[in-house]
Structure formats: C-alpha cells, structure tokens
Amino acid sequence: MSAPRPPLVVAVVGPTATGKSDLGLALAEALDGEVVNADAMQLYRGMDIGTAKLTPAERRGVPHHQLDVLDVTEDASVARYQHEAREDLAAIAGRGRRSVVVGGSGLYVRALLDRLEFPGTDAQVRARLGERAEQHGTRHLHDELARLDPAAAIAIGPANTRRIVRALEVIEITGRPYTANLPEQVYEVPAVQIGLDCDRAVLDARIEARVDRMWDEGLVEETLGLTVHGMSRTAARAVGYAEVLALVRGELDEQAARDAVVAGTRRLARKQMTWFGRDPRIHWLDARDGDLVAHALAVVAAADAGAGTVGDGGAPRRTLGS
C-alpha cells in the first residue's frame, strides 16, 4: 500500500503591497500550515522595514521559514534557495502540516515549485565576460547575446550587465541557449497558486502609503545600520535600500529619495505582475475582496479535490488592474 500523497503546497503570489503576507498567514492558520518565504529580500537578516517583513508578533505563532537566513554581506542564490526551501517543504509535510509559500520573487517561486535545474558557474568565464563589458560596454555583450539567443536578449535589457554576463556564461558552459535553462511551467512540487490582483490606482496609493509608513518606522536608520559591515550587491540593489543609500551618499535629498522609493516600488509591482501574469496556472483573486480568505480557501479546496490534474492550467492570464 503506497504512502498517502502530501497535501498540495499553497502558494500566494503577485505584486508587492497586495497583502500576500496577511493572506498567507490566514491560510496557514486555517490549513494547519507553516509559511515558507519566497521573497528574495526577506531572506536577509536586518532587512525588515524595507521589505515589509512580518514581525515575530505579527506571525501569531505560525512557523515561518526562509526568513533571516542570510547576512546582508552575502549574495542571494536562487539555487541555494531552491535546495533549502525544498527541504523545508519536505520537513513540513513530514510533520503532517501544509506548506504555504508566500512571496513576489517570481524566479524564486518557480525555482521552488517548478522543474528547474541550475547550470553551474565558471569564475574564469564570468571574469572574462566582465572584463569585456568594462572594455567594450554592456551594449557590445548584449549584441552578442542577441546573436546567440535572441529570446534572451529580448527578455534581458541592454543595461543589465549582471544578467547579460550570466546568460552568456550559461551559453558558453552548456552549449545551449540561455532560454533553454529557464523553468518550464511544470510542477516539480504539486501546488496550487493563488495570485492577488489589484486595481492599478489603488495599488499605487497603497505603495505610497507603505513607503510613508516605512520612512516613519525608520527605514533610513535601518539602512545605515546595515552598512556598518557592508552590503552585498544583491542586498544593496533592493528597492528602498538602494534609494536610501543614494541619500546617504548625497546623490539625492530626502524627498527625492522617498519619491524614488515609491517609483521603484511601482516599477517592481508592474514587473511582478508581468511575470506572474504569464502563468496560466495561477488563480487570481481581487486583493480588495472582503471575503478574500474564504474565496482563497475555496480555491484550495477545489484544487485538493482535483489534485490529480492540478497544474494543467485554466485560470485566465491577467495584467495589473485587469
């Protein structure tokens, strides 16, 4: 007699400021679950205010995993996250509880749930490509990427040196297009995904209010404290922290820094919605729904009932504010 199949993992995804953390917590309480973070910046210890991380008291006794697991001097790694977060999922299932994945970092969600293998790295290849970028400019490398993998060049902007170098590194290491290594929309971990959507004007207002709250709670002071031992490139580029660092360097005044955080967060929300909007497996709910938790639980119940076919799609694609 085969062992019973673990319950479907529940994932709450979508753009920032839609209330994913609150919904994920409510679902974990209702489903006897534990939360697994899928926000790349919430992996970092000390990056609390700027990432809207729930405080220990706000977690209401629900165990949370993949929070505060990196020092800000470390670079985050999707491959490392995949390995460690999947171990968390297995441990939660072993305790007979439900995993509730919560976060808006699209690649991290896909790496956790979907069939995705990570090519290795080659420090010499990466260093050589980095030197070429410095000598000839990022546009030169982007043109090469466009020749070798046009789809990757379209997806990666010509100013994104880090991602262009990585794409060319993968092509050289594997002998295959970079896009061949991107995740398939095929679950490695059986799951049901719930996306939170929101009217654009409402979301913009939420973002502005969130930034005001972060500033009042001490985002500038938090950032200054993190710079004592230095911040990795990954941590220092995080929306909110990057703009405060520019303020500290004297490149922006305080109002300009606040405005830049708002603008950067809005851009992030658009990018997140574009990413998640491409996935037809996501069941979209209105973030303003007064019965949001009940409707989310209904989605989970329906997925549980049809678990043999979960992941075969059906939910419509969405764009922000649709």
Check the annotation: does 14 bind a ligand. Answer: yes
Q: Enumerate the β-bridge partners of residue 286.
A: 197
Check the annotation: does 19 bind a ligand. Answer: yes
Q: Are the CB atoms for 99 and 88 separated by under 8 Å?
A: yes
d(CA 180, CA 299): 32
30: its two tokens: 């209702």
Check the annotation: does 21 bind a ligand. Answer: yes
The burial class, CB within 10 Å (0-12 / 13-18 / 19+), for 189 is buried
136: its two tokens: 């000839």
Check the annotation: does 16 bind a ligand. Answer: yes
Check the annotation: does 20 bind a ligand. Answer: yes
Q: Are the CB atoms for 177 and 149 separated by under 8 Å?
A: yes
Binding site for ATP: which residues? 14-21
Binding site for substrate: which residues? 16-21
Binding site: which residues? 14-21
